[in-house]
A and B are shown apart, each in its own frame.
Chain A
Amino acid sequence: MNAFVDPVGARLPRLEAREKVVGTAQYLDDHVRPGMLYAAVAQSPHAHARIRGYDVSKAKALPGVKAVVTGADIPVRRVGGMLKDETMLAVGKVRYVGEPVAAVAARDLATARLAAQLIEVDYEPLPTVLSIEDALKPDAPLLHEELASYVRTMDGNSHGNVVWESTLAEGDVDAAWSRCDVIVEGTYRTPAQYHAYMEPNGAIAEVDGNGRITVLATCQSVHHIQTRVADELGIPMSQVRAQVSRVGGGFGGKHASNIHSIAAWLARATGKPVKLALSRTQDMEIQRSRHPALIRLRTGALRDGTVIAREATITLDGGAYADESPNVLAFAMLMIRGPYNIPNVRIRGSAVYTNKLRAGSFRGFGNPQATFAGESQMDELADKLGIDPVELRLHNAMRPGDRWIGGHTATTCQLVACLEKVREAREAAPALPPPKPGRKRGSAVVAVTHISGLMGTSASVHMRGDGTFALNTGCVDIGQGSDTTMTQLCASLLKVPVERIVYGTQDSDLSPYNWKTAGSRSTYMTGRAVVAATEIVRDKILEHAAAMFECATADLELRPGGRVGVVGVPGKEVGFKDVALRSLFRSGGPIVGFHGFVFDGERFDPKRALIERLAFDNLGVYTFGAQCVEVEVDTLTGRVEVLRVWSAHDVGKAINPASVEGQIQGGIVQGLGYALYEQLIWDDDGRLSNPSFADYKVPGILDAPATIVPIVLEDPDPTGPFGAKGVGEISLVGIAPAIANAVCAATGGRLRQIPMTPERVLDALEAS
């Protein structure tokens, strides 16, 4: 056979790429079921209102309508993350414009939509809360009057419109200020970014003859969908099966939704399969956004650039329901110190309710907000100190073995190398032709960090009768490439080409448990499970071969292409097929490997840090990077163009370098959208002003730089699979502050609010 190329480290095309380029990949809305009905939701026209009653008679009378459900029909079963405050349809009150209040199943979509419009809801409008400032006013209208009675997994000091309040501190920040030679402070604001995955959310639910529900979802975890549907319908998880279609992007926005339970309810009510596929506008109105943040930040340093104190107050706008607000808050708080050894830090955080779309998880998970403030302020500090901003970062940068706030150890840390690499790349880049009149150029470098880990996962490997393998995990590929990565890990250990392994699609009946595709955790967490499960299978194969050759396993080796051979004896070997047949028909039983675990890293050290009501205890391994952007600012209009980006990342080991680069490049452009263009905008009535792609500005190819250079540094993490760490989110994290700092370098204008619209840039230029 041809020389065996180790799949780990190879730039393999995605295993499912072929079906994607020929158009046969089946996303949610591409699926149909015999006799399938179509669902539509009726949505609240009010940002805040009491529901006095429903009249569904007209909707029910419409020919073709098979079922109607309102909030009055469902038992109140509140679901959510750490604070359970949300029902699948609004019950008693609506809390944001667009909130689902009722749903219809009908024989076709047009009928369903018409019926949804015919549902009459009697509302009593209530005063609204549309900003962080309004939410915190002493006499503010309350979104959740029954907040105290909600189930929660830990105390978050919820009160009024405050969802959660946490504190995190280390050292003595009050004492440190007097020792600082230079102090900078500022207030930073970030917007509600919409995930804008290309495939809108949707679900198909059906009920079998025994009453058991199956939900097909475009989602980030079948296990999470299964849990939520079971919770909302009040049935055991054993009565819900969740499956996944191909997923057209997620970015954190498809981890949960009301729609699965609504579809399941309608399927149960009608006995027919029901598809609920959201339009783009509905997706924007119903799903979730990145948390808008208001961050006050203060940083102090000695004259030599040693940063000794940082204090932050972070307030997140969580929208109408808590969802993942406590967790996003905790992570923003953990990230705002930045990857610097700052001994005295105090962070106060809170998340508040407002009458807007719920905010939730979104690539970066609080870190982009924190890093916008933190890394903007590092340049402001450098300016005040008269120190080169890269040198200031190098001076304070964490090194291997240094501790994160709270005490977690950064076992591997290539931050210094990342900073140096992007600076070198920038300096070595070819000079561009000079800018046109009225345009100014500048560049800036930021340091970024993220984590890679969290929660539980597992994997199984089954050897088939012909010596090929079935690999199963609960890890859903939402476009990032985990199907291929997991297969590469398994294939490498078994020394077989990836074609000899099938990676099973996720199904809660069959797939080993995985929390979800989130937290840059798939490669690191599920990859570890895949490696461990594969090693079990490998060892069993060796045991069978040892029995067949009557030798010790230590005398055997795997040979490329699916063989086991005796070390030092080239001809003496047995194929995997013979091993498999032995196991299945003669001795030992099927060869199966399984491994499951929960993230097992260090917990916070309560002796080191004051930690109150923080939603995490351990998170994962820390990843580091540095990002350099070069911008051109049109000083007449304020428009910012990003010309080139260099982004260096400490990935441990690139299992598939093409996928790693794709993650870096894609995250950078999503970060660029966050920095310059994207924001959900609500009017004074709490109605979204721009719920369509015509009005919400996702960067196209001409808005993105042609040159985005990923720089991949490999310093294997001792716990990672082949040393790998995750890279799914970190590349988005630093782009906004990098652009803000580059705009300042070009023009002297300092922007502390994103998106940096041309209008805001012009204002900053005029203020400078």
Chain B
Amino acid sequence: MADTLSYELRINGEVLSVASPATATLLDVLRYQLGMTGSKRGCNQGVCGACTVLLDGVPVRGCLTLAANVGERAVTTVEGMSQGGTLSRVQQALLDAGAIQCGFCTPGVVVTLEAFLRDHPKPSADEVRHALSGNLCRCSGYVKIVEAAVIAAGAAP
């Protein structure tokens, strides 16, 4: 059995104590130790993007990030996006644009777009598409997700 490590993680502004095997990924710890199940396990190979979280504000794969290697870096998950019960602009736009279907890819899309729009306040649809290129969605054909991002950026056509 794997050795257990004890360490702290900074998640959505809170410092949390964690004890996990060294092999545990950030996704494992979020989902199965901390009960933060917003980040999804779709493939566990870094392909689908449903586990995407922010590390110091930058989108990364939760399933390809070892939790013990996160260190002092701030983790932001979908649970940290709607503070005080108010939806973020990205969340609201996804809802309004009809971009939600089964919803399993949605948490990864939300965090990816939040980080992207922070750095690119007025993106083109093409820039949005490149930003989302690592988030698989099997339901929507992606069209309404891009529309939502453009709405969220306040640049609705």
CB-defined contacts of A251 to chain B, threshold 8 Å:
138
User: What's the least CB distance linking B24 to chain A, in Å?
Assistant: 10
**B25 CB within 8 Å of chain A:** no
Q: Collect the chain A residues with CB atoms within 8 Å of residue B137's CB.
A: 198, 666, 701
A22 touches B102 (CB 8 A): no
In the assembled complex, which residues on chain A have CB atoms less than 8 Å from the CB atom of B102? 197-199, 246-249, 478-479
Question: Which residue of chain A is the closest to B46 with respect to CB atoms?
Answer: A694
Asked if B40 and A199 make an inter-chain contact with CB atoms under 8 angstroms apart, the answer reads: yes
Q: Which residues of B contact A279 (CB under 8 A)?
A: 44
A661 and B106 within 8 A (CB):
no
A459 interfacial by beta-carbon distance below 8 Å: no
Q: Which residue of B lies closest to A671 (CB)?
A: B141
Cβ-neighbour of A21 out of B36, B91, B132, B138 (below 8 A): B91
A23 and B96 in contact, given A198-B137, A280-B44, A666-B101 (Cβ under 8 angstroms): no
B129 to chain A, nearest CB (A): 5
How many inter-chain contacts with C-beta < 8 Å in the A-B complex?
186
Q: Which of B44, B87, B96, B136 contacts A22 (CB 8 A)?
A: B87
Selected interface stretch from B65-73, B74-82, B115-123: B74-82
Considering only residues 643-670 of chain A, those with a C-beta below 8 Å from chain B are 658-659, 661-662, 664-670
Interface core residue of A20, A195, A246, A702 (most chain B CB under 10 Å) = A20
A704 in the interface (beta carbon within 8 A): yes
Is B98 an interface residue, CB under 8 A from the partner?
yes
**Is there contact, CB below 8 Å, between B42 and A706?**
no
Is A20 in contact with B100, judged by CB distance below 8 angstroms?
Answer: yes
Question: Given A17-B95, A21-B95, are A29 and B133 neighbors across the interface (CB < 8 Å)?
Answer: no
Task: Output the least CB separation between A437 and chain B (Å).
Answer: 22
Task: Determine if A27 is an interface residue (Cβ-Cβ < 8 Å).
Answer: yes
What string of 1s and 0s marks CB contacts (under 8 Å) between A663-704 and chain B? Answer: 011111110000000000000000000001110001011101
For the complex, is A25 an interface residue (Cβ under 8 Å from B)? yes
Say whether A708 faces chain B, with CB atoms less than 8 Å apart.
yes
Contacts A23-B39, A698-B138, A701-B142 given; does A693 touch B45 at CB 8 Å? yes
Contact with A along B39-55 (1 / 0, CB 8 A): 11111111110100000
Q: Separation in Å of the A143 CB from the closest CB of chain B?
A: 31
The reply to whether A666 and B138 contact each other, CB–CB distance below 8 Å, is: yes
Output the least CB separation between B100 and chain A (Å).
Answer: 4
Q: What separation, in Å, do the CA atoms of A25 and B107 have in the docked complex?
A: 10
B29 interfacial contact with A, CB 8 Å: no
- Would you call A13 and B41 a contact (CB within 8 A)? no
Tell me, yes or no, whether A608 is within 8 Å of chain B by CB: no
How many angstroms between the C-alpha atoms of A667 and B143 in the bound complex? 12
Question: Do the beta carbons of A692 and B141 come within 8 Å of each other?
Answer: no
- State whether A662 and B42 are in contact (beta carbons under 8 Å apart), knowing that A18-B95, A22-B87, A198-B50 are contacts in the complex: no
In the assembled complex, the Cα of A248 lies from the Cα of B38 at a distance in Å of 13
Question: Please, how many angstroms separate the alpha-carbon atoms of A693 and B39 in the complex?
Answer: 18
A residues within 8 A CB of B1? 110
Contact B48 A693 (CB under 8 A): yes
A200 at the interface (CB under 8 A from B): yes
Known: A21-B94, A22-B79. A693 touches B42 (CB 8 A): yes
Is A24 close to B, CB under 8 A? yes
Size of the A side of the interface (Cβ < 8 Å), in residues, is 56
Q: Which residues does chain B contribute within 8 Å of A32, judged by CB atoms? A: 35
* CB pair A248 B143 closer than 8 Å: no
Chain B neighbourhood of A196, CB < 8 A: 138
B14 to A: closest C-beta gap in Å: 16
A339 lies within 8 A of chain B by Cβ = no
Q: How far is the CA of A337 from the CA of B21 in the complex (A)?
A: 59
Cβ B79 vs Cβ A23 within 8 A: yes
Taking a contact as CB atoms under 8 Å apart, the answer to whether A30 and B98 are in contact is: no
Shortest CB–CB separation between residue A545 and chain B, in angstroms? 36
Cα of A248 to Cα of B105 in the assembled complex, Å: 8
Q: Is B103 among interface residues, defined by CB-CB distance under 8 A?
A: yes
A124 on interface, CB distance cutoff 8 Å: no
Chain B residues within an 8 Å CB radius of A698 = 48, 136, 138
- Candidates A199, A478, A665, A694; contact of B140 at CB < 8 Å: A665
Give the residues in chain A near B81, CB-CB below 8 Å: 22-23
A251 to B92, CA, bound (A): 27
Chain A stretch 247-262: residues in CB contact (< 8 A) with chain B: 247-249, 251
**Nearest CB on B from A335, distance (A):** 23
List B contacts of A701 (CB < 8 A).
Answer: 129, 132-133, 135, 137, 142, 145-146
Interface presence of A759 (CB below 8 A): no
Q: How far is the CA of A704 from the CA of B143 in the complex (A)?
A: 9
B100: chain A residues at CB < 8 Å are 13-14, 17, 20-21
Asked if B5 CB lies within 8 Å of chain A CBs, one says no
**C-alpha spacing A666/B140, complex, angstroms:** 4
Q: Is the pair B140, A692 in contact by a Cβ cutoff of 8 Å? A: no
Whether B15 is near chain A, meaning CB under 8 Å from some CB there, is no
Closest Cβ of chain B: how far from A563's Cβ, in Å? 29
Q: Is B155 an interface residue (CB 8 A)?
A: no
User: Which residues in A have their C-beta under 8 angstroms from that of B98?
Assistant: 11, 13-14, 658-659, 661-662
Q: Nearest chain B CB to A286's CB is how many angstroms away? A: 16
Given the interface contacts A249-B139, A666-B140, A698-B138, does A481 sit within 8 Å of B129 by beta carbon?
A: no
A197 to B103, CA, bound (A): 11
Determine the residue in chain A with the shortest Cβ distance to B2. Answer: A110
Determine if A198 and B143 form an interchain contact, defined as CB atoms under 8 angstroms apart.
no
Q: Which listed residue, A195, A198, A665, touches B144 by the CB 8 Å rule? A: A665
CB-defined interface of A231-246 with B at 8 Å, one 1/0 digit per residue?
A: 0000000000000001
Q: Is the CB of A26 within 8 A of B45?
A: no
- Given A666-B140, A666-B141, A692-B45, does the pair A199, B110 have CB atoms closer than 8 Å? no
From 270 to 327 in chain A, residues with beta carbon under 8 angstroms from any chain B beta carbon are 279-280
Does A16 touch B at the CB level, under 8 Å?
Answer: yes
Pair B140/A280 contact, Cβ less than 8 Å: no
Known: A23-B78, A698-B138, A700-B134. A661 touches B42 (CB 8 A): no
Contacts of A22 in B (CB 8 A): 38, 78-79, 81-82, 87, 91
In contact, A708 and B141 (Cβ under 8 angstroms) = yes
Chain B residues near A511: list those with CB within 8 A: none
B16 within 8 A of A: no
Residue of A nearest to B50 (CB): A198
Q: Mind listing 23 A-B residue pairs with CB under 8 Å?
A: A17-B100, A17-B103, A21-B78, A21-B103, A22-B81, A22-B82, A23-B37, A24-B38, A25-B103, A110-B2, A196-B138, A198-B42, A198-B50, A198-B105, A200-B41, A664-B141, A665-B142, A669-B140, A692-B47, A693-B42, A693-B48, A701-B137, A702-B133
Residues of A within 8 A of B (CB): 11, 13-14, 16-18, 20-27, 29-30, 32, 110, 195-200, 246-249, 251, 279-280, 478-481, 658-659, 661-662, 664-670, 692-694, 698, 700-702, 704, 706, 708
In order of increasing CB-CB distance, the 5 nearest A-B pairs are A23-B38, A479-B102, A658-B98, A248-B104, A20-B103
